[in-house]
């Protein structure tokens, strides 16, 4: 389902739209190997490790599960969620053989729509989606992390999150965030003379929220960040120095 950009929000806004959850179920860092996206050098068609994290916040209290001490239909079993994610990845791999390459945005979209309760599909009863179920879920998020897709950092990730504040898919709000984790950028930083003699490594996390792009452009974005960061830090230091020397000295860029 194409999501209207008019309902695209920041990740923080989407999370806060639904308030405090009755319960939240997390499956973190499911390990798999995928042939999607690009590697750190921008090459396609290469197998690479991936980590998938899913979160589901329930729309209603789970009274039946609490009173009967069983995993009933008013909650989500974390084991079923983990199995459903891996099964969906398997279906995508089998379906995409010989097809055009898969972007990480395509993969996250596929998971959001295809992660279903196992063993429930039939001609009379279509499968129930776990993450796209407004009747049961108030908030859900999926993160695909590629730990080997960065040359200078600890990985790249794409997170899609969705909120159903009114319990309806028609009024849902969505967020997309591309993240670069612990980028190591050598740069001159500091105001003391000794700090100007050699570059130091600055470690930075960079989030690009409300990210709308179907293509895999993260290697190019990382190259821009690494190029621009030292210049930004240098301008920031000049700006800070002028403020220390004058009342209103500013560097405008």
Q: What is the mean pLDDT of residues 90-98?
A: 69
pLDDT of residue 10: 93
pLDDT digits (tens, 9 = 90+) for 14-53: 999 888 888 889 999 999 999 999 999 999 988 999 999 9
Higher per-residue confidence, 8 vs 108: 108
| Residue 100 clears pLDDT 90, i.e. is over it | no
H/E element holding 91?
Answer: helix 78-95
User: What is the C-alpha separation between 103 and 44, in angstroms, rounded?
Assistant: 9
> Range with the lowest mean pLDDT among 7-11, 112-116, 129-133, 228-232?
228-232
**Pairwise CA distance, residues 192 & 95, whole Å:** 59
Average pLDDT of every residue of the chain = 81
- For 117-155, how does the pLDDT look when each residue is reduced to its tens digit (9 = 90+)? 766 554 456 677 888 888 888 999 999 999 999 999 999
pLDDT of residue 235: 53
Is a pLDDT exceeding 60 seen at residue 116?
A: yes
CA-to-CA distance for 143 and 161, rounded, in angstroms?
Answer: 9
Longest dimension (CA), the chain: 76
Q: What is the C-alpha separation between 74 and 65, in angstroms, rounded? A: 7
Q: What fold does the segment set 5-177 form as a domain?
A: GTP Cyclohydrolase I, domain 2 (3.30.1130)
**Average pLDDT of the segment spanning 56-85:** 72
Would the pLDDT of 93 be above 80? no
CB 179 within 8 A of CB 204: no
Predicted confidence at residue 107, as pLDDT, reads 94
Examine the pLDDT at 113 and tell me if it is beyond 60.
yes
| pLDDT over 90 at 7, yes or no | no
Measured CA to CA, the distance from residue 167 to residue 73 in angstroms comes to: 17
Most confident segment among 57-61, 90-94, 210-214: 210-214
pLDDT at 248 over 50: no
* Banded model confidence at residue 191, pLDDT cuts 50, 70, 90: confident
pLDDT at residue 96, rounded to an integer: 61
Q: Name the 3-class secondary structure at 54.
A: strand
């Amino acid at each position: 389902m194409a999501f209207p950009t008019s309902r695209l929000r920041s990740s923080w806004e989407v999370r806060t739209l639904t308030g405090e959850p009755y319960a939240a179920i997390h499956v973190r860092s499911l390990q798999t190997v995928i042939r999607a996206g690009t590697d750190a050098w921008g090459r396609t068609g290469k197998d690479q490790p991936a980590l998938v994290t899913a979160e589901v916040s329930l729309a209603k209290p789970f009274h039946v599960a609490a009173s009967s001490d069983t995993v009933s239909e008013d909650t989500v079993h974390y084991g079923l969620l983990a199995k459903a994610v891996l099964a969906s990845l398997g279906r995508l791999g089998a379906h995409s053989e010989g097809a055009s390459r898969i972007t990480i945005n395509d993969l996250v979209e596929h998971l959001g729509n295809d992660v279903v309760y196992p063993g429930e599909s039939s001609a009379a009863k279509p499968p129930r989606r776990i993450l796209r179920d407004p009747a049961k879920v108030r908030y859900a998020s999926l993160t695909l992390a590629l730990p080997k897709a960065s040359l200078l950092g600890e990985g790249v990730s794409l997170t899609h999150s969705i909120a159903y504040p009114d319990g309806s898919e028609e009024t849902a709000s969505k967020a997309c965030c591309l993240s670069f984790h612990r980028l190591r950028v050598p740069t001159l930083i500091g105001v003391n003379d000794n700090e100007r003699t050699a570059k130091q490594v600055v470690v930075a996390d960079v989030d690009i929220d409300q990210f709308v792009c179907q293509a895999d452009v993260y290697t190019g974005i990382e190259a821009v960040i690494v190029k621009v960061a030292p210049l930004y830090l240098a301008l920031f230091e000049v700006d800070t120095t002028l403020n220390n020397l004058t009342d209103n000295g500013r560097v405008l860029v």
